[in-house]
Amino acid sequence: MRTGGGDPIREAARILAERRNAVVLTGAGISVESGIPSFRGSQGMWAKYDPMEYATLHAFMQSPRKVWEMLTEMVSVCGFASPNAAHKGLATLEETGVVRAVITQNVDGLHQAGGSRRVIEFHGNLDELICVYCWKRYPTRDRWTPGSVPLCDCGEILKPNVVLFGEPIPWLAQEQAEEEARTCGVLVVIGTSAQVSPACDIPRIAKESGAAVVEINPEETFLTGNVTDIHLRGSASEVIGKIVIFSRDPTLQIPRG
């Protein structure tokens, strides 16, 4: 792949404009600027809640009230959050035909709130609750109030319809995500440490299928210098904002021959 010299953000915008079939993979980092902490890092949720104790299906089945201590914090924080400039910028790039889909590991619904239309939720969404005994589902707002533990009509404690460690990925989301990865021209990976399997396989699938991989993250990850072709070091809102501006530059539009 020709990457050339100069500003790497401009170069990424040029490749996006040229190929016009980008897919985006997002993680917790894109929502940090909306006030939702990521899981890893000193400010992350895992610094407070051990994931093996609070975020596995086994833990939920053993002590759902304890797991709801962590879930209560997550549902409350996400409930108050609004999409930031990065979520909105991706919606603009979809509208202008640069991005065709967003695959997200996030469970906060902020891509849809920011205007993205094709969103594949790899790990579910906190806006729905499910009973792991009778499989009845409810909108979270109908059953949950801050501080409460939501109950099913059958009397059991409801679980948010998100993927806890030890649970499978919803099959349709997995199929669609892999298909998008296999067929995209560019995969833009934003705000994920790429440590959660199987979501972390998506960049490799895209790369092996011939896509360019652009990574937006203030830090290096397992993908950087390995799967990533261009690492744009910076916050999601800052970098996406610049890509949106560059993508309006007519000199970046490469005529198709």
Please identify every residue annotated as catalytic.
123
List the beta bridge partners of residue 22. Answer: 99, 186
8-19 helix and 236-247 helix, angle to the nearest 10 degrees: 60
**Within 179-238, which residues bind Zn ion (CB under 5 A)?**
none
Residue 98 as a binder of ligand NAD (CB under 6 A): the answer is no
CB of 230 to ligand NAD, least distance (A): 15
Q: 159 exposed, middle or buried (CB, 10 Å; 0-12, 13-18, 19+)?
A: buried
Q: In this chain, which of 105, 140, 161, 247 binds ligand NAD, going by CB under 6 A?
A: 105
DSSP for residue 255? P
Q: Is 161 in the site for ligand NAD (CB under 6 A)?
A: no
Q: Tell me how far apart the alpha carbons of residues 257 and 251 are, in angstroms, rounded to a whole number.
A: 16
**φ, ψ for residue 34 (rounded to 5)?**
-95, 5
Site membership for ligand NAD, residue 112 (CB under 6 A): no
Give the residue nearest to ligand NAD (CB): 29
Query: Residue 90 interacts with ligand NAD (CB under 6 A)?
Result: no
How large is the greatest C-alpha to C-alpha distance in the chain, in angstroms?
64
- Per-residue x/- mask for Zn ion, residues 120 to 149, rule CB under 5 A? -----------x-xx---------------
Name the residues that contact Zn ion, by CB under 5 A.
131, 133-134, 152, 154, 156
